[in-house]
Structure 1
Amino acid sequence: MTRDLPAGLDDFLAQAGWEGAEIDPLPGDASFRRYFRIRKGDKGAMLMDAPPPHEDPTPFLHVGKWLGEQGLRAPEIYAEDAARGLVLIEDFGHDRMRDWLDVNPSEERRAYADAIEALVELHRRPPGPFDSYDWDVYLREVNLLPEWFAPAAGFAVDAEGYVDAWREVLLPMLPRQQPGVTVLRDYHAENIMLLGPRGEYSGEQGLIDFQDALVGHRAYDIVSLLQDARRDVSKELEGEMLDLYRSRIATDSDFAADYARLGAQRNAKIVGIFARLWKRDDKPRYLSMIPRVWDALERDLAHPALEPVARWFDANIPADVRAARGGGLG
């Protein structure tokens, strides 16, 4: 068996009917969670190890069960022991959307159109029993930039003015996210599995990494998909997919502005998160993604709805640093 297995795993697998299964670790992500591919005979499954106190699988179980009840393609849950942080789930296979498109770039439009259709289906359902994506959450997230990016880049910034600018930009949007939709919050090409025989996309997609779901604005997950920190999405494809979504679900006249608002909010958050991963968690590999995030942030800041926040960036982050795309890191 693989070394460094989760505590209590043998008992957990035995109780779930998987005693003696083969266990292979998968590469980690930015969290403390670990994943293992489990095989016993011709059966396969995925093991999530979300060890307390750093992780808690309860939100994953809560959201995953709700998605399944709505007929959406979350992995089936085979066994769970939340106290030990162990969850055995359906194995969606090897084909993450990002990796599959590296090999099959001609299928890009099809895969993204299917991902948009999945959001259409999600947004046609009443919002789930989740907390609200409210002003306090938005503010906590955007504050990651002055808290982590600014000191890492060596900038002293106007933190109070930053909050004021975001308040002016985001508060007018909040009434438009009522009653809201379920927002998965990390809906991008690394968290979408393309289902079917290995290397053969059937058109069905599976959802993963949805444990942080909230109830918020319908534009948020579209931003997450089309302004992806981990994969280039052309402006042409971004526009085409936005048009596709708007052809399937009615949107108001503020939708484009709110898309830019949430794009800027999300991208500012991600710059802060990547700086934190570098400085606090010793994970410098995320720095290579910052130029892509910074490019998207600049496009969002160009929208008139972002003028107060854009003015803050002009005053606090030097133009030459921003033009260098690295944002002062790396």
Structure 2
Amino acid sequence: MAEAAVSSRISEQYEFMETHGWGQASIVPLVPDASFRSYKRLSLGGEGRMLMDAPPNYENIHAYLDVTAHLRSLGLRVAEVHAEDRTRGFALIEDLGDDTFTRLLAAGRSSLDLYLTAADTLVHLHEATGATAIDLPAYGLPDLLREAALFVDWFAPTVRGAAISLQEREDFLGAFSEALEGVAADRRVLVLRDYHVDNLMVVGEGDNAGCALLDYQDALIGSPAYDMISLLEDARCDVREDVRAAVLARYFAQRPALDREAFMQDMQVLGAQRNAKIAGIFVRLSRRDNKHLYLKHMPRVLGYIARSLEAPVLAGVRSSVQSMLPEFPFVSF
């Protein structure tokens, strides 16, 4: 935003805080992420809140507030909303603390314990009665292909140093369309879409400890395999193979009616799609937005794509990628 717009936005923040009794709070801004949302930690009289700023021209605070209420109705732990201004894009929400799974892992907490907790929470979401009874679009083929296209529109031309032809783009998306056809028609669960350790928290202590959810405003209705692959193929950190196996075993044990073979194939297809999207986004953030930090995660993301492309169902996608980028995944970017 321009300087004048930033100053105006800050004034609006203070007006919102003042309206809801937090105008005299001490403020600590949190480190921003890749979105336009921002958060400030507020403290006043021994109490705390988080100020969410979701500029209406860039972010959809309605989705966050609606999905928050829905998840709470399903018995899942989310931040309580204390005040909101949907028109201007502000909310005062509960401060859940600092114990994200990411920070707990860095502090030495058992990765197995945390990931099994994540598996149990995912089972809760996938088994909850009425979980899909919310007015959200399906995570269908057009959305999945639009996201996969980021790979050929941003990543591939940057790596190759030359444009991708229209025919190459059509071949890539055509192959992905065939691979995604079955899973794209799945409407079984609420998909949070960014279900990984950065967006999971431990709240409470001892027997009262629970798993809280963050960053779910882009939720859609789709396949249960999506959030599982999001958890296990995290762009920002490695998941040990024994932990991966334990998570899947825990999940399947609690959902015995699930077709495991079909679920695992859906994970491979969606893993390829999701990580192709992420590779494109990371390059776009670097080249368009001058945010280069995410490129350090690229080797991991490319490794995920390469592993997924070994699946027979993705043979056409693998052939297209190898034709465009013969050295993939060992490429420079």
How do 1:262-281 and structure 2 match up within 5 A?
A: 262-281=270-289
Q: How does 1:152-191 map to 2 (within 5 A)?
A: 152-153=158-159, 154-157=161-164, 158-175=168-185, 177-178=186-187, 180-191=188-199
Measure, in 2, the Cα distance between the counterparts of 1:32 and 1:261: 29
How big is the shift at 1:202? 6.0
2:155 and 2:267 map into 1 onto residues whose CA distance is 23
Structure 2 unpaired stretches of 5+: 1-5
What's 1:88 paired with?
A: 92
Aligned to 1:222: 228
Residue 224 of structure 2 aligns with an amino acid whose one-letter code is R
Amino acid at match of 1:251: L
Residue 155 of structure 1 and its aligned partner are, at CA, apart by 4.3
* Equivalent of residue 241 in structure 1, options 247, 250, 256: 247
Equivalences for residues 275-290 of structure 1 within 5 A: 275-290=283-298
Distance 1:315 1:190, change over 3 A: same
Query: Secondary structure of 1:7's partner?
Result: helix
In the alignment, is residue 31 of structure 1 matched against residue 30 of structure 2? no
- Flag structure 1 segments of 5+ consecutive residues without an equivalent: none
Deviation at 1:255, TM superposition (A): 1.1
- Find the counterpart in structure 1 of residue 3 from structure 2: none
Separation of aligned partners in 2, 1:43 and 1:14: 16
Match of 1:41 in 2: 45
Separation in 1, partners of 2:21, 2:266: 48
Q: Which whole-Å deviations, capped at 9, do the CAs of 1:50-101 have from their partners, x for residues lacking one?
A: 1131223111111111111111111110001122211110111011111110
How many residue pairs get matched? 318
- Of 103, 118, 121, 2:121 maps to 118
Contact 1:128 1:215 in 2 (8 A): no
Q: Deviations over 1:272-312 (max 9, x none)?
A: 01011001111001100111111111111111221111111
Distance (Å, rounded) in 2 between the aligned partners of 1:213 and 1:47: 21
Contact 2:144 2:184 survives alignment (8 Å): no
- SS of the residue aligned with 2:43? strand
1:1-330 alignment runs, 5 A limit: 6-105=10-109, 107-125=110-128, 126=130, 127-129=132-134, 130-153=136-159, 154-157=161-164, 158-175=168-185, 177-178=186-187, 180-196=188-204, 203-249=209-255, 250-252=257-259, 253-319=261-327, 321-323=328-330, 327-329=331-333
Deviation at 1:27, TM superposition (A): 0.3
* Equivalent pair of 1:133/1:215 in contact (CA under 8 Å): yes
After superposing on structure 2, the runs of 4+ consecutive aligned residues of structure 1 that deviate more than 3 Å are 200-203
Moved more, 154-163 or 225-234: 154-163
Counterpart AA for 1:52: P
| Residues 29-38 or 125-134, more deviating | 125-134
Q: Distance in 2 between matches of 1:161 and 1:328?
A: 23
Identify which range, 216-225 or 200-209, moves more after superposition.
Answer: 200-209
SS at match of 2:176: helix
Aligned-partner residue type, residue 138 of structure 1: L
- In 1, the alpha carbon distance for the partners of 2:23 and 2:11 equals 15
1: distance between equivalents of 2:295 and 2:133?
Answer: 34
Alpha-carbon distance in structure 1 between the residues aligned to 2:238 and 2:209: 21
Distance 2:16 2:79 in 1: 19
RMSD: 1.8
Deviation at 1:328, TM superposition (A): 2.5
User: 1 CA distance for matches of 2:50 and 2:182?
Assistant: 43
